[in-house]
Amino acid sequence: MQTLEGRSATRFPVPEIDGALGVTQVDETGAGAFTAHAVAFVHRHRYALVIVGGTSSLRSPDAARALAAAVSDHLGAPTRAASGP
C-alpha cells in the first residue's frame, strides 16, 4: 500500500483546526509539475478533505489552510481563530 509520505509528500501544520493534517504532494506529469496541498480533519461524524492545487505556484499551503478553516466553520467545528487564544 502506498502512503502519502511514501510518495514524497511533506506535512505542513494546520494550527487553525485541532487534529488536522496538512500535506503537500508534487507529481511530475507530461505537462509539468502538479502541486496539491491538502488538509484532512474530522468533526463529529464527518470527515473533510480539502485540496487546492495546480500547475503554477499560485496555490500554497496557506490557501489550503484558509479553505479548510472555512469548511470547518461551515461544519460547526471550532477553529482556533474563532475560539480565540
Segment 26-54, tens digit of pLDDT: 888 787 888 999 999 998 889 999 999 98
Look at residue 64 and tell me if it is in a domain: yes
The three grid cell numbers given for residue 1, joined into one nine-digit string: 500500500
Rounded to an integer, what distance in angstroms lies between the CA atom of residue 20 and that of residue 3?
17
Q: Strand 32-43 and strand 21-29: pairing? A: antiparallel
Tens of pLDDT, residues 48-82: 999 999 887 778 899 999 999 999 999 887 666 54
Q: What is the pTM of this model?
A: 0.81
Q: Residue 14: what pLDDT?
A: 95
Compute the C-alpha angle 63/51/81, nearest 5°. 45
Look at residue 22 and tell me if it is in a domain: yes
Q: Residue 85: what pLDDT?
A: 41
Look at residue 85 and tell me if it is in a domain: no
Residue, of 59 and 15, whose pLDDT is higher: 15
- Give the domain extent around 71: 5-80
